[in-house]
A = this chain, B = another copy of it.
Amino acid sequence: MTTVTTDDKAVFERRESAARSYCRSFPVVFEKASGATLKGADGKEYIDFLAGCSSLNYGHNDPDMKTALVDYITNDGVTHGLDMHTSAKAAFLEAFERIVLKPRNMDYRMMFMGPTGANAVEAALKLARKVTGRTNVISFTNGFHGVTLGALAATGNGYHRGGAGVPLTGVTRMPFEGSMGKDVDTADFLNRMLSEPSSGIEPPAAIILETVQGEGGLNAASRNWVRRVAEIARAHGAMFIVDDIQAGCGRTGSFFSFEEMGVEPDMITMAKSLSGFGLPLATLLIKPEHDIFGPAEHNGTFRGNNHAFVTARVALEKYWADSDFQTEIRKRADLMTKRLGEIASMLPDARLKGRGMMQGIDVGSGELASEICARCFAAGLIIETSGAHDEVVKILCPINIEIGTFTRGLDILEEAVGEIARSTKIAAE
C-alpha cells in the first residue's frame, strides 16, 4: 500500500460526475494546505480567498486542531458512534455551552443530524412544521438553504431549483430587504401579506433567513429589518429561523451573525465552519420548548462526527474564549472594506456588498466578475463569484488570515481589476 500522489486530472474526467464544479474554475490537483494557502501537486501555491465557501474560517489545518485530532485518532478515540454518547461529543457540548451559550445568555439544545447544512435546514423546517402544525414556510428571494428537496424549496436560485425535477412546494417566497428597489419596504410587505386574510398566503410554520445572503450576492440585511422580520414571525405564530451556516462562526465579526441585532431565533442552523477544520459537521440549535422531535424521528448515519467534535471544541477554546479574536476579525474586516472600496472605485458602477469578513464587489455583470476571478487565479489567488447573475466578486478568506497573506491577495485582486479597468478604458477611447 502506498499513498498515491498524483496530479493526473484524467481520472476526474473519466470517473467524477459532471456535477463537479469548482474544479472547473481552478483546474489544479491540490495536495496540501495550511492557513490561507493551498498547494498544488505541482508545488504551486495559491492564496485562498474562498476558504471552502466559509467552511475554513480558521484556515486550513490549524495546528492546534490538527494536534488534537491526531492525538484523538492515535489513541483510538471513537470515530463513528451513530448518536451514542462519546467523550468527544460531551467535551464539545460542554465547550459550546460554556464558551458560546452562557456568555450570550442563550438557552438552546443542539441537534446533530447528517453533517451537512442542508440537513440542518431540513430538520429545522420539519421541526417548525411539527411545532406549529402548519405547512407553509416563508423564505426570501436570493436565499440559499441547500439542494435536498425540503431545503431546495426554500432556496431561491432558479438553476438549483431547476434540478429538482418536481414542483417545489410548501414555501412562499418574500422579497429580501432591498430586493424590490428603494420604494418597497419589504418587511411591511411581508407583514401585509401575512395579515391580509385573503392574500392567499397560508399562516407560516416558519420564517427562515440568512442575515447576510452569501450565495445570493452578499446581501446584508440591516439590524432593523431582521428585528422586524423576527417580530412579524412572532406576531404570526411562526418559528423564526436564522440560517447561520455561511455567516456564522465569526464570519461577520461575532460568533453568530445576528448577535448585535437583538433577536432570539427559535432555531439556528450551523454547519460549514462549525468543526473549525473543514470536517463535515452540522447542528440545529433549538429553543428547549421547541425540542419536540421524538427519538430518531429525524435520524441519519453520520449524526455527530466525532473527529469534527474534537476540532470544533479546540476551535471554540482557541478562538472564542475571550474577545481578542473578534477584535482581530474586525481589524481584517476594516482592511477589507478599505481595500475593496479602493478597488471598486476603479470600475464604473461597482459597489461594495456584504459585511464583516464576507464582503465583495458587485461589478455589474457575471462576465466581468468571472474574468476578474480568472485573472486572479492565474496570479495565484483563489476567489469566486456569487449573486443571481454571478455578478459579485466575493471574499471569503479565512477570518484569521495572516495580514501579509491577506494583503498579497488583495493586491492580486486590485491588479486584476486594474488591468481590466485599464483595458476597458483603452477600448473605450
Query: Is A331 interfacial (CB 8 A cutoff)?
Result: no
Task: Give, as a whole number of angstroms, the nearest-CB distance from A126 to chain B.
Answer: 5
**Are A1 and B318 also in contact (CB < 8 A) when A116-B300, A183-B185, A299-B21 are?**
yes
Contact (Cβ within 8 A) B30 A118: no
Contact (Cβ within 8 A) B200 A156: yes
Name A199's contact: one of B31, B173, B198, B284 (CB within 8 Å).
B173
Q: Which of A19, A149, A199 has the most CB of B within 10 A?
A: A19
Contact (Cβ within 8 A) A6 B82: no
**Chain A interface helix/strand/loop/mixed:** loop
Residues from chain B with Cβ under 8 Å of A181 in the complex: 188, 192
Name A166's contact: one of B108, B135, B189, B199 (CB within 8 Å).
B135
- Complex Cα distance, B97 from A20, in Å, reads 18
Q: Per-position contact with B for A7-31: 1 when CB-CB < 8 Å, else 0?
A: 1110110111111111110111111
Residues from chain B with Cβ under 8 Å of A162 in the complex: 297
Residues from chain B with Cβ under 8 Å of A113 in the complex: 19
Contact (Cβ within 8 A) A91 B3: yes
Contact (Cβ within 8 A) A80 B96: no
**Are A77 and B31 also in contact (CB < 8 A) when A183-B185, A200-B156 are?**
yes
- Complex Cα distance, B33 from A196, in Å, reads 38
Beyond A17-B109, A34-B76, 20 additional pairs, beta carbon < 8 A = A5-B87, A15-B109, A15-B110, A19-B297, A20-B83, A22-B83, A32-B75, A56-B80, A79-B278, A80-B278, A126-B163, A129-B166, A141-B200, A149-B149, A150-B150, A166-B170, A181-B188, A183-B184, A183-B185, A271-B302
Q: Give A149's nearest chain B residue, CB to CB.
A: B150
Task: Give, as a whole number of angstroms, the nearest-CB distance from A227 to chain B.
Answer: 21
Contacts of A101-138 to chain B: CB distance below 8 A: 108-119, 122-123, 125-130, 135-136
- Complex Cα distance, B282 from A301, in Å, reads 11
Residues from chain B with Cβ under 8 Å of A43 in the complex: none
What are 20 A-B residue pairs whose CB atoms fall within 8 Å in the complex? A19-B111, A19-B113, A19-B294, A22-B83, A41-B87, A114-B116, A115-B302, A117-B301, A135-B165, A141-B193, A141-B200, A147-B298, A148-B149, A149-B149, A157-B200, A161-B200, A165-B205, A166-B169, A167-B202, A280-B305
- Complex Cα distance, B293 from A20, in Å, reads 9
Query: Is A69 interfacial (CB 8 A cutoff)?
Result: yes
Q: Per-position contact with B for A312-352: 1 when CB-CB < 8 Å, else 0?
A: 01100110000000000000000000000000000000000
- Complex Cα distance, B298 from A17, in Å, reads 11
Contact (Cβ within 8 A) A114 B111: no
- Complex Cα distance, B156 from A128, in Å, reads 22
**Are A199 and B156 also in contact (CB < 8 A) when A78-B32, A162-B297 are?**
yes
Name A165's contact: one of B27, B56, B73, B126 (CB within 8 Å).
B126
Q: Which of A60-68, A254-262, A407-415, A420-428 contacts B (4 or more CB under 8 A)?
A: A60-68
Contact (Cβ within 8 A) A91 B197: no
Query: Is A378 interfacial (CB 8 A cutoff)?
Result: no
Residues from chain B with Cβ under 8 Å of A50 in the complex: 82
Residues from chain B with Cβ under 8 Å of A294 in the complex: 18-19, 159, 163
**Are A183 and B180 also in contact (CB < 8 A) when A4-B94, A87-B30 are?**
no
Contact (Cβ within 8 A) B110 A114: no
Task: Give, as a whole number of angstroms, the nearest-CB distance from A179 to chain B.
Answer: 7
Residues from chain B with Cβ under 8 Å of A307 in the complex: 279, 307
10 residue pairs, one from A and one from B, having the closest CB atoms: A129-B165, A80-B278, A149-B150, A17-B111, A156-B200, A21-B296, A114-B116, A198-B388, A4-B91, A19-B293
Query: Is A44 interfacial (CB 8 A cutoff)?
Result: no
Contact (Cβ within 8 A) B388 A21: no
Contact (Cβ within 8 A) B84 A199: no
Task: Give, as a whole number of angstroms, the nearest-CB distance from A160 to chain B.
Answer: 7
